[in-house]
């Protein structure tokens, strides 16, 4: 049994809260229904008893007297049974307390009619018959213990009104025994009431056990539902993975096959005039492959929850304007108009994620629009910020609108020509939206155009806003001193070139001895970029924390090609930022700005 179930097997009364109103009500309900069930048989029992008593007294007692008594006792018991029948017909009791009170009164009434027999008959019957009558009347409260189920109150009312008149009528006839009779009657009464009290405890315990069992059943059902949902989710994700894998292997195999054909052409020493065409085609294939690989890596990274949104105060309109600028050439080439309808909106959100979402949507809008315009709009509505990308392109048929967010799902590309996209853009958009908590909706009509609408809940309070982080303002890194540690010379060279182009003062180191020397000679940097796995067996994270201990605190950015959660945990454990390879330049730029707080 798993440990987390253990709490449900605690002793029944321990957490059933005997004093809780719900528990008390359930005990009372149970008692009333059980008592009512027994009462249904009582008129017959009473009839037998009355007959027995009548046989004892009819010779010496006037017929009207014993007749009236018999009718009274059986009639009172019959009325009690009728009331019990009404209770049993109700599924729930409106007020169990008042039903219980009424049952106590009815028990008192029935007890009184029986006890009346002692007062009426004792003066008229012989001593043996008196003794027999007293025995019968004293036995009735003992039987009443089981009739009253476990209600000491019902039993007390019933028994007192039988025992007191019986003991009284004996004491009146034999005054010398008054103390003995009073003492024995009290002792007897106390005994039957305490037996009823024990019965009540038993009832409370069984109700508590039943509640415990019901709770465990509910808990088990809930857990079962959770397990079923988890299994369904796992099955769905394994189906998605299989579908993605099948599509990816097809899409990877095609260009690889074409590349092997072109390499065979090159090996065969082709005519010089065919070389430019071969080179162009190889270039196109390599670009397509790169795009596909990038998309797949992005998707796996987003799906593995390895993307931690980096929340900053950003200006949505400014971010949108910057992304639109990147598409000027593409728009001009297709002779489309790119309309910016940008109202000032400030957000507290992830600039990199929103930039990537917008790039994917804008890319599609331009790709699937042959004439007319593409409009990017930003505005705020209530406490929400809205970004829309609208085009006058070919539109998306209604029955396809749900499916285009699936991985590798494309319309009008049966040959899977990768020049027309790989079908991962919108899947990435959707994952990013889930990660940053944005809602995405689509309105589209085939032949008319499409509108993708993003709604963000992270509207920043205007007064609290700092100026938006200038995502592509190259001046923001100017003059910063950044050290890069990587054991691969090509990466060191490329990163150094890229950072230098942002006017960063870059120093590079390929090994731990080299980086130690660098820190000793030049001091600590404004930021350290370090590869997670370094060639000499040292880990980037360990090296960074060692250097921080020796030279004081500085921000650290870890880069890695690993996608395992362990790697993410290792880096997050030290509080360092993480970027996964292949690194996109603007993502690197935004991360550096954010890490340096500029
Ligand atoms: P890709 O564009 O690489 O094919 P996406 O996941 O970005 O993959 O899009 C999936 C499909 O959705 C596309 O193949 C295209 O048919 C359709 N689509 C996406 N955006 C638009 C749009 N703005 N207009 C018309 N069709 C679109």
Residue 225 has pLDDT above 60, yes or no: yes
User: Which pLDDT does position 530 carry in this prediction?
Assistant: 92
Span 21-49, mean pLDDT? 92
Residue 4 has pLDDT above 60, yes or no: no
User: Which pLDDT does position 241 carry in this prediction?
Assistant: 72
Write the CA distances from 390 to 289, 340, 362, 369, 427, integer angstroms: 29, 11, 9, 10, 19
Residue 415 has pLDDT above 80, yes or no: no
| Confidence grade of residue 595 (pLDDT, cut at 50, 70, 90) | confident
- In sign, the C-alpha dihedral spanning 82, 85, 90, 94 is positive
| Confidence grade of residue 414 (pLDDT, cut at 50, 70, 90) | low
* 311-456: in CATH 3.30.565.10: yes
pLDDT in tens, 465-523: 333 344 445 567 889 999 999 888 878 887 888 888 888 999 999 888 889 999 999 99
- 154 Cα–ligand 1 center, Å: 78
- 286 Cα–ligand 1 center, Å: 22
User: Which pLDDT does position 15 carry in this prediction?
Assistant: 44
Out of 399, 404, 450, give the residue to mutate to test ligand 1, the one with the largest number of ligand atoms within 8 Å of its CB: 404
3-state secondary structure (DSSP) of residue 453? strand
User: Which pLDDT does position 502 carry in this prediction?
Assistant: 85
CB of 421 shorter than 6 A to ligand 1: yes
Residue 295 has pLDDT above 80, yes or no: no
User: Which pLDDT does position 19 carry in this prediction?
Assistant: 63
CA distance 579 to 253: 29
User: Which pLDDT does position 388 carry in this prediction?
Assistant: 97
- 456 Cα–ligand 1 center, Å: 22
Residue 281 has pLDDT above 70, yes or no: yes
CB of 364 shorter than 6 A to ligand 1: yes
3-state secondary structure (DSSP) of residue 446? coil
Domain boundaries, given as residue ranges, for the chain: 21-222, 311-456, 481-596
| Confidence grade of residue 258 (pLDDT, cut at 50, 70, 90) | confident
Residue 7 has pLDDT above 60, yes or no: no
Residue nearest to atom 16 of ligand 1 (CA): 411
User: Which pLDDT does position 584 carry in this prediction?
Assistant: 67
Q: Which atom of ligand 1 is nearest to the CA of 360?
A: 7
- 324 Cα–ligand 1 center, Å: 19
CA distance 15 to 8: 9
CA distance 303 to 432: 9
Which among 36-45, 427-436, 578-587 has the top mean pLDDT?
36-45
CA distance 369 to 334: 9
Please tell me which residue, 277 or 371, carries the higher pLDDT value: 371
Annotate 394-431 with three-state secondary structure: CCCCHHHCCHHHCCCCCCCCCCCCHHHCCCCHHHHHHH
| Confidence grade of residue 462 (pLDDT, cut at 50, 70, 90) | very low
User: Which pLDDT does position 565 carry in this prediction?
Assistant: 65
DSSP codes joined into one string, 267-286: HT---GGGHHHHHHHHHHHH
User: Which pLDDT does position 8 carry in this prediction?
Assistant: 41
Please tell me which residue, 586 or 399, carries the higher pLDDT value: 399
Residue 159 has pLDDT above 80, yes or no: yes
| Confidence grade of residue 185 (pLDDT, cut at 50, 70, 90) | very high
How far is residue 98 CA from its own chain's centroid? Answer: 42
User: Which pLDDT does position 12 carry in this prediction?
Assistant: 44
- 212 Cα–ligand 1 center, Å: 55
Span 377-402, mean pLDDT? 93
User: Which pLDDT does position 550 carry in this prediction?
Assistant: 92
* 481-596: in CATH 3.90.1150.10: no
Span 388-410, mean pLDDT? 91
Nearest to 327 by CA among 377, 282, 361, 290: 361
Please tell me which residue, 107 or 293, carries the higher pLDDT value: 107
| Confidence grade of residue 285 (pLDDT, cut at 50, 70, 90) | confident
pLDDT in tens, 68-102: 999 999 999 999 999 999 999 998 888 899 999 99
CB of 408 shorter than 6 A to ligand 1: no
Average pLDDT, the chain: 85
**Residue whose entry in the numeric block shows the structure tokens 């507290």:** 348
- 131 Cα–ligand 1 center, Å: 103
Cβ neighbour number for residue 301 with a 10 Å cutoff: 16
Query: 199: which 2 tokens?
Result: 């019965």
Residue 463 has pLDDT above 60, yes or no: no
Strand partners of residue 531: 559
User: Which pLDDT does position 428 carry in this prediction?
Assistant: 86
* pLDDT > 70: percent of the chain: 89
- 411 Cα–ligand 1 center, Å: 7
CA distance 104 to 107: 5
User: Which pLDDT does position 270 carry in this prediction?
Assistant: 77
User: Which pLDDT does position 578 carry in this prediction?
Assistant: 84
User: Which pLDDT does position 512 carry in this prediction?
Assistant: 86
CB of 595 shorter than 6 A to ligand 1: no
User: Which pLDDT does position 135 carry in this prediction?
Assistant: 94
Q: Which helix (H) or strand (E) holds 507?
A: strand 505-509
User: Which pLDDT does position 460 carry in this prediction?
Assistant: 62
User: Which pLDDT does position 10 carry in this prediction?
Assistant: 43
CB of 389 shorter than 6 A to ligand 1: no
User: Which pLDDT does position 1 carry in this prediction?
Assistant: 38
* C-beta pairs of 137-140 under 8 Å, 24+ apart in sequence: 137/162, 137/163, 137/166, 138/163, 138/166, 138/188, 140/49, 140/114
Residue 119 has pLDDT above 90, yes or no: yes
CB of 368 shorter than 6 A to ligand 1: yes
Q: Which atom of ligand 1 is nearest to the CA of 369?
A: 24
CB of 294 shorter than 6 A to ligand 1: no
Please tell me which residue, 416 or 108, carries the higher pLDDT value: 108
Out of 368, 424, 429, give the residue to mutate to test ligand 1, the one with the largest number of ligand atoms within 8 Å of its CB: 368
| Confidence grade of residue 134 (pLDDT, cut at 50, 70, 90) | very high
Helix then strand count (H, E) for the chain reads 17, 12
Please tell me which residue, 226 or 146, carries the higher pLDDT value: 226
Query: 439: which 2 tokens?
Result: 């809602």
User: Which pLDDT does position 597 carry in this prediction?
Assistant: 80
CA distance 341 to 325: 14
Residue nearest to atom 13 of ligand 1 (CA): 410
């Amino acid at each position: 049994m798993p440990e987390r179930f253990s709490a449900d097997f605690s002793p029944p009364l321990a957490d059933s809260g005997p004093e809780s109103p719900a528990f008390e009500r359930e005990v009372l309900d149970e008692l009333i229904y059980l008592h009512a069930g027994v009462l249904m048989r009582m008129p017959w029992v009473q009839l037998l008893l009355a007959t027995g008593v009548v046989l004892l007294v009819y010779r010496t007692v006037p017929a009207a007297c014993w007749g009236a008594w018999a009718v009274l006792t059986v009639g009172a018991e019959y009325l009690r049974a009728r009331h019990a029948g009404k209770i049993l017909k109700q599924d729930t009791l409106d007020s169990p307390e008042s039903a219980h009170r009424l049952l106590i009164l009815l028990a008192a009434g029935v007890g009184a009619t029986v006890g009346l027999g002692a007062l009426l008959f004792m003066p008229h019957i012989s001593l043996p018959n008196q003794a027999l009558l007293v025995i019968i009347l004293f036995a009735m409260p003992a039987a009443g213990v089981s009739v009253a189920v476990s209600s000491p109150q019902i039993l007390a009312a019933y028994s007192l009104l039988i025992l007191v008149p019986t003991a009284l009528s004996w004491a009146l006839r034999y005054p010398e025994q008054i103390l003995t009779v009073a003492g024995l009657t009290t002792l007897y009464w106390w005994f039957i009431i305490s037996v009823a009290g024990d019965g009540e405890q038993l009832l409370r315990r069984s109700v508590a056990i039943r509640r415990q069992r019901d709770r465990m059943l509910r808990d088990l059902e809930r857990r079962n539902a959770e397990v079923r949902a988890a299994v369904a989710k796992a099955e769905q994700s394994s189906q998605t993975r299989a579908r993605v894998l099948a599509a990816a292997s097809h899409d990877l195999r095609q260009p690889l096959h074409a590349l092997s054909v072109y390499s065979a052409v090159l090996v065969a020493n082709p005519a010089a005039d065919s070389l430019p065409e071969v080179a162009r085609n190889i270039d196109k294939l390599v670009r397509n492959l790169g795009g596909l690989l990038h998309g797949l890596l992005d998707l796996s990274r987003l799906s593995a929850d390895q993307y931690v949104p980096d929340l900053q105060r950003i200006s949505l309109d400014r971010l949108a304007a910057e992304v639109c600028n990147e598409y000027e050439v593409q728009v001009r080439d297709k002779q489309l108009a790119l309309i910016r309808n940008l109202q000032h909106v400030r957000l507290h959100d992830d600039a990199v994620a929103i930039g990537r979402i917008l790039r994917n949507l804008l890319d599609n809008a331009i790709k699937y629009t042959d004439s007319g315009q593409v409009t990017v709009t930003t505005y705020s509505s209530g406490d929400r910020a809205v970004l829309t990308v609208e085009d006058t392109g070919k539109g998306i048929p209604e029955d396809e609108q749900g499916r285009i967010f699936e991985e590798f799902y494309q319309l009008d590309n049966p040959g899977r020509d990768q020049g027309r996209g790989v079908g991962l853009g919108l899947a990435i958009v959707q994952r990013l939206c889930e990660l940053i908590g944005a809602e995405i909706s689509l309105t589209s009509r085939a032949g008319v155009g499409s509108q993708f609408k993003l709604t963000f809940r992270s509207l920043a309070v205007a007064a609290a806003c700092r100026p938006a982080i200038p995502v592509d303002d190259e001046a923001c890194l100017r003059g910063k001193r950044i050290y890069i540690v990587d054991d691969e010379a090509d990466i060191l060279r490329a990163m150094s070139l890229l950072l230098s182009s942002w006017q960063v003062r870059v120093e590079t180191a390929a090994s731990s001895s080299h980086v130690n020397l660098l820190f000793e000679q030049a001091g600590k940097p404004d930021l350290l970029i370090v590869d997670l796995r370094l060639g000499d067996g040292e880990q980037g994270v360990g090296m960074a924390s060692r250097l921080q201990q020796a030279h004081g605190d500085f921000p650290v950015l870890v880069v890695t090609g690993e996608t395992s959660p362990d790697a993410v945990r290792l880096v997050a454990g030290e509080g360092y930022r993480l970027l996964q390879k292949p690194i996109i330049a603007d993502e690197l730029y935004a991360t550096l700005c954010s890490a340096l707080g500029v």
